[in-house]
Structure 1
Amino acid sequence: MTTVPLRRNRNYTLLWAGQAVSEVGFSTTMIAFPLLVLAITGSPAASGLVLGADAAAQLLAGLPAGALVDRWDRKRIMLWCEAAMAAAVGSLALALWWDSASLAHMVLVAVIMGVCRALFEPAEDACLTRLVPEEQLATAISLNAARSSIGQMAGTALGGVLFAIGRVVPFLVDMITHLISLISLAFLRVPYREVERAPIGNIGKEIAEGLRWVWSHRHVRVTALCAVSLNFFFNAFYIVIIVLANARGVPAGQIGLMAAMLGFGGLLGSLLAPTLHRILHPWVSIMAVFWMVTLLTPLTILAPNGYVLGALFAGMSFLAPTANTTINTHQLLLTPDDLRGRLSGVMNVVVGAAAAAGPAAGGVLVEFVDGTVAVLWCTAGMAAVSLLVTVSPVLRRFPVSV
């Protein structure tokens, strides 16, 4: 029997399109949030508090969320998350309209957004294998990555423009995007799965079971540790290079372009990821992204302007979708359905922890050493991780298929 192309897969198309719209709205809010806090409070620290509340909520909720995804109906989780996010940003839009928005309200909205994403992402990941056949899973994962890149780039560009039109506008747009996604999800048909109704008090045991499963599988454990290490050093480097570019007088517009090119490279890489996933050995696809980032990082020291920095950043992100497609496809097919939520929850937490710790480390590093030296320190850390990936016997024997 001929497999139906993904573009004709009704359920996958509904999920992809709804989330594409939702992610544009979310990225719009994440750009507008610090601008709003600064406009209302005048405090950069308060802006950091709001964005930090979102990240902290997602991180803290990650492990319990993964366990709940495995015990609850996954479609309902996604529906409730979209409804809650629409209500949260809608309440903020209403408060802005009435000129009564407060810092506490904004922190609460950020926390709700973070918790909802902690629940939604594992639910979507776990549903994916039930919506597309195994032979199309890698393509679906890469298209989801492309969707995220598109949403991030479009939302980032829209956020500032909409905020300039009016403070309430980006949050109103975000509310509408979540409602559109909610309607799209309502028509989604996810194959039925039996869910064991265990007492809620067992949640701790279920989290521990998910952690043990991840740790007991060598390929999952090693790829997670490598990804965490690279994310840590890259996020440290990202802060360092922004500080260095600013110190060298690179205009803010060019620094913004540099950040946008990171998403552009990821988008191009996502479109080519299904092809590269098929023709490259998994070890090669994983190793390539590590060495690409390691080799391009020190070249940023020589970059004369933000345009060259942007090109280097696009190159750094180009191969990441192929490695992520290879790793995520293997993990989802290897993991039993009743553990897929916990797998995603664990991976989101470890990667999120690295993403949070990296900028903090980079900020401390650039306080004590020159920016150029700080870049070289980050390069050294990336090179060490890349060498470990290259010689790892586990990754060399990474299975081509499950």
Structure 2
Amino acid sequence: MTVAPLSRNRDYRLLWFSQAAAEFGHNATTIAFPLLVLAVTGSTAASGLVLGTIAAAQLVAGLPAGALADRWNRKRILLSCEAAQVLAVGSLVAALATGAATVPHMVAVAAVLGVCTALFEPAEDATLAALVPADQLATAVAANGARTSLGQLAGTAAGGFLFAAARMLPFVVDAVAHLLALITLAFVRVPPRERRPAPLRHLGPEILAGLRWAWQHRTIRVTTIYAAVLNLFFSAFYLVVIVLAQRRGTPAGEIGVMAAMLGAGGVVGALAAPYLQRLLSPYVSITAVFWILAVLTPLTVVVHGGYLTGAVFAGMALLAPTANTTIVTQQLLSTPDELRGRLSGVLALLTGVAGAAGPVLGGVLAAAVPATTAVLLCTAGITAVAVSATASRVLREFPRTPVPVSG
């Protein structure tokens, strides 16, 4: 039987477009939230509290969210998360319109956004494998990567302009975007699956089962550890480079372009990922990301100006989507459906912890040594990981075409 191309997969298209809208709104809010807190309170500590709440809620909810995605109806999780975000952001819009916005209210909204993100991601990841045939899954993963990069690029850029026009405008756009996503998702047909209802007290053992699966599966364990460590050093490097640019007197507008170029490189890389995945072996595509970062990160010491540094950033992002497509496709196909949500929750938690710890490490380095030295220390960490990944037998034997599990 001939399988229709992904472009004609109605349910996947609906899922993709719904989340393209949602991610645009989410990123507009992400950039506007700290600006709003500063405008309302004048407190950088309050701004950090709100942003920290989003990250903390996402991390705390990560493991239970994965288990719940395996236990509950996944489409209902997706719809509930979108509805909750419409209500939460809508309440903030109403508070801003009436002049009643407070820090506790904004913290509560931030907590809802973090929990919804934690719940949505494993449910979507697990649903994706049910909507798309196995031989098209890599293309779908790459297209989702392009969607995320586009949302980050466009939403972040738009959020600043919208906030400049009116404080509540980015949040109005976000609420409307999630409402559109909610309506679109309602028309997605998710194949039914057998579920075994269990008491809530069984949630802990179910989470542990997901952790054991991820740890016992050697390829998943090794790739996750390498990804988390790389994320740690790159997140630290990213903050240090921003500090370095500020100390060099780079205009804020150029720094914004510099950050956006990372997303632009990700978009180009995601579009090329399906072709590069067929051209390159998994081992080459994965280890190349480490070595490209190891080679390009020290260039930021000698390259001056936001635009040139942005070009370096774009180069760093080009091959990452290919490696991500290779790894995520293998993980989804090698994991039983009843464990896919928990696997996604475990991976999100580990990479999230590394992503949160990275800026802390970068801040400590930037305060302790000159920024150029801090860049080189981050480069040394990335290079050490690259050497280890290159020598890894597990990565050398990474399967090109994963065999889907049965059951």
TM-score (structure 2 length as normaliser)? 0.98
1:60 aligns with: 60
1:273 aligns with: 273
2:26 aligns with: 26
2:188 aligns with: 188
In the TM superposition, what are the counterparts of 1:240-389 in structure 2 within 5 Å? 240-389=240-389
1:1-47 deviations in Å (ceiling 9; x for gaps): 22211111000000000100010000010011001000000011111
2:12 aligns with: 12
2:80 aligns with: 80
1:302 deviation in Å?
A: 0.6
In the TM superposition, what are the counterparts of 1:72-151 in structure 2 within 5 Å? 72-151=72-151
CA distance in 1 between counterparts of 2:354 and 2:44 reads 23
Report the residue type matching 1:77 in the other structure.
I
Report the residue type matching 1:89 in the other structure.
V
| Aligned partner of residue 249 in structure 2, secondary structure | coil
CA distance in 2 between counterparts of 1:249 and 1:167 reads 28
1:147 deviation in Å?
A: 0.3
In the TM superposition, what are the counterparts of 1:192-231 in structure 2 within 5 Å? 192-231=192-231
| Aligned partner of residue 297 in structure 2, secondary structure | helix
1:167 deviation in Å?
A: 1.1
1:152 aligns with: 152
| Aligned partner of residue 75 in structure 1, secondary structure | helix
CA distance in 1 between counterparts of 2:151 and 2:374 reads 31
CA distance in 2 between counterparts of 1:182 and 1:352 reads 26
CA distance in 1 between counterparts of 2:2 and 2:341 reads 30
CA distance in 1 between counterparts of 2:257 and 2:3 reads 40
Report the residue type matching 2:31 in the other structure.
I
| Aligned partner of residue 3 in structure 1, secondary structure | coil
1:164-187 deviations in Å (ceiling 9; x for gaps): 111111111110000000000100
Report the residue type matching 1:137 in the other structure.
L
1:27-81 deviations in Å (ceiling 9; x for gaps): 0100110010000000111111101100110011000000000000000000000
2:392 aligns with: 392
CA distance in 1 between counterparts of 2:266 and 2:164 reads 28
CA distance in 1 between counterparts of 2:278 and 2:70 reads 30
1:233 aligns with: 233
Report the residue type matching 1:276 in the other structure.
L
CA distance in 2 between counterparts of 1:165 and 1:375 reads 37
Report the residue type matching 1:178 in the other structure.
H
CA distance in 2 between counterparts of 1:3 and 1:284 reads 30
| Aligned partner of residue 188 in structure 1, secondary structure | coil
CA distance in 1 between counterparts of 2:98 and 2:306 reads 41
| Aligned partner of residue 243 in structure 2, secondary structure | helix
Q: Which stretch shifts more, 13-22 or 166-175?
A: 166-175
Report the residue type matching 1:355 in the other structure.
G
User: What percent identity do the matched residue pairs reach?
Assistant: 62
CA distance in 2 between counterparts of 1:280 and 1:80 reads 40
| Aligned partner of residue 198 in structure 2, secondary structure | coil
Give 4+ residue runs of structure 1 displaced > 4 Å after superposition: none
Report the residue type matching 1:324 in the other structure.
N
Report the residue type matching 1:65 in the other structure.
A
2:405 aligns with: none
Residue correspondences, number:
402
CA distance in 1 between counterparts of 2:375 and 2:258 reads 16
1:157 deviation in Å?
A: 1.0
The runs of 5 or more residues in structure 1 that have no matched partner are: none
CA distance in 2 between counterparts of 1:161 and 1:243 reads 23
TM-score (structure 1 length as normaliser)? 0.99
CA distance in 2 between counterparts of 1:335 and 1:319 reads 25
1:401 deviation in Å?
A: 1.3
